[in-house]
Amino acid sequence: MITYEELIDRLKSSESHIVVDSRLVKEGSIFIALPGRKTDGHMFVNDAFARGAELAVVEKPGDYSGPVLVVENTYRFLLDAGKKIFELNRPFTIAITGSNGKTTTKELTALFLESAGLKVFKTHGNYNTDVGVPLSILNQYKGQRYSVLEFGVSQPGDMDRLCSIVKPDIGVVLKVGSAHLGNFPSSEALLREKLGLLKHSQLKVVHSDLIKYLDDFDVSFGPHGDVRLLELSWQNGKTHARFRVFSEDVWMELPGIWHEGMLENLSAAISAVKLAGIDPNFEVLEDFTFPPRRFQFHHVRGITVVDDTYNSSLESIEVSVKCLQEMKKNGLYAVVGIILEQGWNALNAHGELGKLLKAFDGVLVYGSQEMPEVQVIVRNLGEKLIGVFDSKERLVAELLNELKTNDIVYFKASRGVRLDEVVDCFMEELNK
């Protein structure tokens, strides 16, 4: 039977496939059984063995059909294993947190570092939690000398847990808005949690709106920052922007449509890379593509479809609306769902959402009319409301009936609403 020390040594010296979801097991995987609020990984240990796992890490005794390593706490084992693997090479680490744009900022930062000839590890996709970060390390870290990590915060204490795994050399805090606000007692508590990254970081990069809350920082970005956007326009499907990068003015022509929030993410990436002592090569942005469903434009049969369904917040909707109003040629429509994890702030947030959506010529709401959040949106929309739909097929049929050539339709909701499925259904009908 393998011991704890032997397993850690094995993880240090050879490639392994570590999973906490038995559905992701492949031949030779190691399955870590994590207890959870909704289910317990120990219930799926034998399923993991049936799918080809060679070992399971458990904290509860059971009638298991394969070899197990029993530890006191499987969650703590995962964090400790990730920490030990990372500490082997101690890469120079840039950690990024904030309410919107973490993944985009991570991808841009990694791109700049890689273009300088550096070997870079970055967290996979949106694996940004206290479970996702160590999983990314265990499965993908191969001794690279630089790392760019995304730190997501959705509960009090998350930041300290993440920083117990990795000690950042540079901490980057993007703009802090209302995402996950319902999981915190106040907006101030959410802000403190995000800013907690800085106390663990040797060097600090912050959005200029946050300076008033800090005693010290190294570089700022945003409207009043060391790196900031000065001019912005869109022409022929491209974004033209002028930045102040410390004392230098930099003109950029970027592929696709970038709104101000995305350009703030770019400013944050530039700030972090400059602070790391690297001059960013802006030419690499010519080939940059955003992660899927982030303000993604599709042009089909004279209709512009904007898929922004990866997630939602008031702040991201506000910058999107501002950009779309500038681009409007004919009708401007929105298909929206609710913003999740707002808790005590839900009714206020959706009242504000309804007011923002009045900038559109017509709005279709995806959800149940019985939901209080939907009712608040409807109340604030007034005559701009086209209808509320709990069926994607009925919504798509109504939307197709409304749209005309040169119209823009914008899709936005929290990921849990599954509005991406409505987008796919609509695109399928539009392409017929």
CATH number of the domain enclosing 383: 3.90.190.20
Q: Residue 81: inside a domain, yes or no?
A: no
110 and 238 in a single domain? The answer is yes
Q: Assess whether 58 and 206 both reside in one domain.
A: no
> Phi then psi for 409, rounded to 5 degrees?
-125, 130
Amino acid identity of residue 286, one-letter, is: E
Q: How confident is the model at residue 179, as a pLDDT?
A: 79
- Only one residue has tokens 């089909």, namely 300
Q: At what angle do helices 260-275 and 314-327 cross, to 10 degrees?
A: 120
CATH number for 240:
3.40.1190.10
Q: Which pLDDT belongs to residue 75?
A: 96
- Among 25, 40, 73, give the residue marking a domain's end: 73
- Going by C-alpha positions, the residue among 241, 214, 242, 243 that lies closest to residue 227 is 243
pLDDT of residue 116: 98
| Lookup: tokens for 306 | 């904007």
Whether 84 is covered by a domain: the verdict is no
Q: Is the same domain home to 112 and 254?
A: yes
On whether both 362 and 405 belong to a single domain, the answer is: yes
User: For the whole model, what pTM was predicted?
Assistant: 0.93
The whole-number pLDDT of residue 5 equals: 86
Burial of 237 from C-beta contacts in 10 A (0-12 / 13-18 / 19+): exposed
Structure tokens at 109: 């930062």
Q: Tokens standing for 142?
A: 């191969």
SS3 per-residue string spanning 203-254: EEEEEHHHHHHCCCCCEEECCCCCEEEEEEEEECCEEEEEEEECCEEEEEEE
Confidence (pLDDT) at 10: 81
By CB neighbour count within 10 A (0-12 exposed, 13-18 middle, 19+ buried), where does 241 fall? buried
* 338 and 391 share one domain: yes
Number of domains observed in the structure of the chain: 3
Closest CA to 363 of 326, 345, 340, 337: 337
DSSP class of 329: S
Q: Which of 358, 371, 368 is nearest to 391 (CA)?
A: 368
Domain assignment present for 132: yes
Residues 281 and 302 in one domain: no
pLDDT for residue 197: 98
- Same domain? For 388 and 356 the reply is yes
| Co-location of 131 and 17 in the same domain | no
Report, in angstroms and rounded to the nearest whole number, the Rg of the chain calculated over CA atoms: 23
Residue 39 lies in a domain: yes
Burial 261-299 (b: 16+ CB within 10 A, else e): bbbbbbbbbbbbbbbbebebebeebeeeebeebbbbeee
140 in any annotated domain:
yes
186 part of a folded domain: yes
Query: Residue-wise pLDDT tens for the chain (432 aa)?
Result: 788 888 888 887 777 899 999 999 999 999 999 998 889 999 999 999 999 999 999 999 999 999 999 999 999 999 999 999 999 889 999 999 998 999 999 999 999 999 999 999 999 877 899 999 999 999 999 999 999 999 999 899 999 999 999 999 999 999 998 878 888 999 999 999 999 999 999 999 999 999 999 999 999 999 999 999 999 999 999 999 999 999 999 999 999 999 999 999 999 999 999 999 999 999 999 999 998 999 999 999 999 999 999 999 999 999 999 999 999 999 999 999 999 999 999 999 999 999 999 999 999 999 999 999 999 999 999 999 999 999 999 999 999 999 999 999 999 999 999 999 999 999 999 988
Q: Compute the distance between CA of residue 134 and CA of residue 330 in angstroms, rounded to an integer.
A: 48
Convert the pLDDT of each residue in 334-376 to its tens digit: 999 999 999 999 999 999 999 999 999 999 999 999 999 999 9
338/230 same-domain check: no
Sheet holding 120-122, edge to edge: 120-122, 146-150, 92-97, 170-173, 203-207, 219-221, 227-235, 238-245, 248-255
Q: Do 128 and 239 sit in the same domain of this protein?
A: yes
The confidence score (pLDDT) of residue 388 equals: 98
Residues 214 and 315 in one domain: no
What CATH number should be reported for the domain holding residue 22? 3.40.1390.10
- 216 domain-assigned: yes
User: pLDDT value at position 191?
Assistant: 94
The pLDDT of residue 171 is: 99
Which of 287, 316, 335 is the C-terminal boundary of a domain?
A: 287
Does 132 share its domain with 66? no
Q: Is residue 79 part of a domain?
A: no
Q: In terms of residue numbers, what domain contains 214?
A: 89-287
> Among residues 43, 73, 103, which one ends one of the domains?
73
Q: What angle in degrees, to the nearest 10, is found between the helix axes of 372-381 and 346-357?
A: 30
- Can you say whether the dihedral through the CA atoms of 342, 347, 348, 351 is positive or negative? positive
CA–CA separation, 148 vs 123, rounded Å? Answer: 7
